Amino acid sequence: MRSHPPRFSAFVLALALTGAILSGACGDKTAANGSDGEGDSADALPAPEGAGRGGVTGMPATPGPGQIGPPADAATAPQFDEDGNPLPGTAAPVDGVDGTLPADGGAVAAEPTPDDAVAVVRDYYAAINHGQFDQAYALWSDGGRASGQSAQQFAAGFADTTGVSVELLPPGPVDAGAGQRHIEVPVAITATQRDGSQRKYVGAYVLRRSVVDGASDEQRAWRIGSADIREVRP
């Protein structure tokens, strides 16, 4: 009989070669994907610039030293002339004028109130009682001209008066006019004459102030605009 090589041995040899090829291919794939066998490769996407120094944005995880945000303007020291007055453009800004709150956290100066109007009338009679007629005259609007008298005429009107007491009653509401505010302050007055006699008056003062843009502090303050004072006969 003619002898033939066993077919089983050839099959085993082919199977071994196939396994060796597959094993080599799997080894190369495992090496390419990393030894831990996880799904995505670390080199699949480019790492952000600066990786390892902070977050995924590449920015530091915490801010570095120095100021955060735009630098604050350096304060300019005011310069003075020979009389001690600040030179133009060098004086430090006044609190509240540049739009900021005062350094102590307070608010910008508020508008004059009805109580401020009452205080003007109180100061008016206090100045008269101290013989400070120029000061009392200046509490009338328009630098005193609203009284209808000159400063000398105003002072002469108190020549026979040794003292004045005034009772200030609650003020009325603030009324709005064209660029102005008005308020009425009722009063009861007792004037003592040089001969010791007393004369009593009742009535009211109308105070006014300006609210137009560009008005000065003096114009924005309460000042006496007019008076309606009548003597009370016994």
pLDDT tens-digit map of 78-119? 566 665 566 665 544 444 444 444 455 555 557 899 999 999
Helix, strand or coil, per DSSP, at residue 177: coil
187: tokens are: 């009063």
Q: How many CB atoms lie within 10 A of CB 130?
A: 10
Q: How many CB atoms lie within 10 A of CB 137?
A: 23
Yes or no: say if 155 and 138 are a contact pair by the CB < 8 Å rule: no
| Burial environment of residue 81 by CB neighbours within 10 A (0 to 12, 13 to 18, 19 or more) | exposed
Going by C-alpha positions, the residue among 168, 160, 183 that lies closest to residue 125 is 168
Residue bearing the bigger pLDDT, 53 or 234: 234
Determine the residue type at 173: P
Question: Is the pLDDT at 139 greater than 50, yes or no?
Answer: yes
pLDDT tens, residue by residue, 156-214? 999 999 999 999 999 999 999 889 999 999 999 999 999 999 999 999 999 999 999 99
